[in-house]
Structure 1
């Protein structure tokens, strides 16, 4: 009996982890992607340097980095090392890096 309870508890923990990971998935629709690309072209920003920060999805940007709004898109953008980066303003995590 004890083994069944332990197995069930382990399964619940695993399922909870999968649900949390799914909640963090970011889906940028093709329409949103087009809006971002067009807006960024029209509103160019100076590139900033952020020492010690790797430009990849999931990396959090420091609070010192100013994020800029894209109309009708929940994400914000900034240009880092000449790459436009789309950021979730709530977590400050990078959701997409444009080349």
Structure 2
């Protein structure tokens, strides 16, 4: 089970990661804001910009490529887009959690 936490550069994302670390799942932090290239890895990834019309489809593809089954959304822009696409993600057994905003 893979977990994606958005807003990777926020303290809230790192706090949530620490809370979830007891879960045996693979945790990835992601952010759509500019990240220095040297910081990017398999544990910190660049996310698509939620202002793009294709955002939900790009996120779905990213989740499928990385075996993500739960997305913890910590950004309001991302939450709005992903909430609208919740049914699409559910078809692929990907849960969208916006409770931590």
Indicate whether the TM-score tops 0.5: no
Which one has the bigger strand percentage? 2
* Larger RCO (CA within 8 A; separation ≥ 6): 2
* Structure whose alpha-carbon radius of gyration is higher: 1
What TM-score, normalized by structure 1, do the two folds share? 0.27
What TM-score, normalized by structure 2, do the two folds share? 0.26
